[in-house]
Structure 1
């Protein structure tokens, strides 16, 4: 097709190509070559050579000049955070299947072209490759729009050889990304925290959690870490609050195994909400989960205490370009597993200072969820014996958790319109649903180094600023189902 002149764009171009939109997919490198969006069969960097310097429109540019890159997991040092990419230059790579560096890279050809794109402020097309059983070549490639090269440097890579790294940031004003975030976990889960790129804090929890929670920042220059809060893995009470009386416990000996004789199981619909697999996994999202508490006679290892055992997966807080701080796991998190508690100061909603802006308020809306108010999805569970569902005065959450000054790692978890976590109200110390504990559980199997997200649940046009005006906030979750606005 190239020799017959049947290629759509035989000459290389900078920027978008007419007729090829963000989100368009291709089922092989050959299709991209025929279209002209990326003209190399194998190389990850497509660039204009010196012949393009002779064209009048290119006199202000330095050549070679990059026009397109493909991210598909070839290099073990790549890091892809969707809107923000750390891209490894080309060369020195074992192409026989191990995908490891076997020698130093050189500042030439595609590597030099990406450097010149940064110097000349020329945007670069980014295409991502994903494994796909529907493609005859085993991969599908998605055009994800234009990015700018904002920084480059040389460093020792994972295999000990010098590699060139390029930071690419997605240009604003483009259609929302349709591909999910891509991570090459073989390179990015380090053997130790000290190996983390951009490490700004060894452990934000200061030893309170089962595992240290490092924080990294490769976005800001100079980099900085999370600040302005004190870490607490459990929720504290506001001075004017008092928790209800401790609930009567079950009389089970050892482990709770028989739902017919366990009073906690009866509260959960005559069954246990968890299965023992992987240390305890929630079978399904429920209106409220009743766990065994301080007055129960069962052991601390009882499966019905699953959310009380602290972190079970290694988490990292990291900086993003548009969403501030974010959280990811170094481990695979199975569906239904507890991830973390949203902790802070339990207080009355009416006592929150309306003058000071605070983006870390979590309304305890279990009762509203049970009633299906404000578009919330009803969940299974009959609680009619504990609450009056016809009570009219409970249409707004009476209590909330304020994580502005005190909180856990959950305060850094971002919103997504297609989240991989879900919110679950849990009761163990008492049975007042309006003051329930807030836990985040895995909604699906989550691979290592994927950003953890949940749906903040805002109703559109529901947030009012401190000056009384309607406050709108764009959503940058990147989901194909993105609602465009967070609130």
Structure 2
């Protein structure tokens, strides 16, 4: 075991609060970007967010949380001292959003024009802290992801923060007894893979893409892309899934109780590769065991790798990428395809999601949780794994042909 792997294995969360760490850094004159302590504000004051509001003797005051300083250092400042128009606007936006959503009258929540009700001020602080936490999570996601598109996080619905016990990964995470790496034995020597139909021809299947890198084969048929032993470069038309999605996506909080969802921030053409479904690769026996645990929560991220057999399952509950947050729909705009690149083990295909139609910017991305990668998506044709047969969750996708349950 090398030093880096030893460090990761024994890494534990810090038990000290951010405030304690901030005080220690300032005492030792240390700069820490993660704690909001920069060279700029080490000895100066910068507004992080506004906590409260009052009027005294006709003057307007705001309670300010200073960036990189603990809450014990919060101070009341007259409005003319604040040079943060955006934060003041955000404060009022949160204030009126909360008041408008409460059944109580504005007068009872605001008490009077001189001070805010405690519940209102508490909400504003919690919202500000949530916004900071989500921004940090967004930055962490973009550090870890390997595809070109950016990831954004948005929650205008409730006070839910970043998910706990979720770790972003870009590829399958093998569990004991499972080997997901594989290594291609041979590769093509083509100068024009699109016309030579190289690797797919060798595998006895149809070349999957057209000249615009759009999928042209029917669901249920496998995709064989060029691998690490092929002489063609990254611009090869038969390297689509492995190059990753180019789109910027947003993880957002849904308004109808479906938790987090994912929407695209760019237009996606029909039949385009959008993302892979990744997670821990586990045996069917382990999937059965975990499925029993997931039944208690009514949420599961188990995806059977049943292209030719049913030996392995992908579990994206704790380890996954942006696909972890994609919701189900009975009328989805994404379709599942099985992909083989370096690992040609038919028991371990990579799971790629392609668009079934043109998707507008701002539209939510969805796939059918009962989808098997075949052309027939009727419920009668789907052979569910034991873990999936036990629990039925009410479906809230809103599709005209909704089946009523997941």
Q: TM-score, normalised by structure 2?
A: 0.59
Cross-structure match for 1:341: 276
In structure 1, the partner of 2:301 is 360
Equivalent residue in structure 1 for 2:164, among 227, 233, 247: 227
SS in 2 for 1:274: coil
Aligned to 1:4: none
Please state how far the C-alpha of 1:290 moved relative to its aligned partner.
0.7
Instruction: Write out the 4+ residue segments of structure 1 that deviate beyond 6 Å after TM superposition.
Output: 115-118, 463-466
In the other structure, the counterpart of 1:247 is: 184
Q: Quick one: which of 202, 209, 214 aligns to 1:281?
A: 214
Give the 3-state SS of the residue equivalent to 1:281 in structure 2: coil
| In 2: Cα distance, 1:287 partner to 1:253 partner | 23
Q: Alignment length, in residue pairs?
A: 269
Distance 1:200 1:240, change over 3 A: same
What CA distance in whole angstroms lies between the structure 2 residues aligned with 1:273 and 1:252?
Answer: 19
| Residue-by-residue CA offset, 1:9-41 (whole Å, 9 max, x unaligned) | xxxxxxxxxxxxxxxxxxxxxxxxxxxxxxxxx
Quote the Cα distance in structure 2 between the aligned partners of 1:365 and 1:442: 21
- CA distance 1:318–1:248, shift in 2 (3 Å): same
Q: Deviations over 1:308-359 (max 9, x none)?
A: 1122100000111311110000000111111111111122121233353261
Tell me by how many angstroms 1:233 deviates.
1.1
Choose between structure 1 and 2: higher strand proportion.
Answer: 1
Aligned to 1:324: 259
Partner Cα separation in structure 1 for residue 385 and residue 344 of structure 2: 30
**How far apart, CA to CA, are the structure 1 residues paired with 2:199 and 2:354?**
24
- Following TM superposition, by how much is the alpha carbon of 1:454 offset from its aligned partner in structure 2, in angstroms? 0.5
Instruction: Determine helix, strand or coil for the equivalent of 2:271.
Output: coil
1:204–1:227 Cα change, 3 Å: farther
Alpha-carbon distance, 1:117 to partner: 9.5
Task: Indicate the SS of the match to 2:240.
Answer: helix
Aligned to 1:205: 141
TM-score (norm 1): 0.49
Residue in structure 1 matching 2:240, options 306, 315, 340: 306
Counterpart-to-counterpart distance in 1, 2:181 and 2:101: 63
Match of 1:425 in 2: 338
Shift of 1:232: 0.5
Shift of 1:306: 0.6
Structure having the higher helix fraction is: 2
8 Å CA contact retained: 2:187, 2:231: yes
Distance, in Å, in 2 between the alignment partners of 1:296 and 1:479 is 43
Q: Which residue of the partner structure matches residue 478 of structure 1? A: 398
For 2:199 and 2:149, the matched residues in 1 are separated by 33
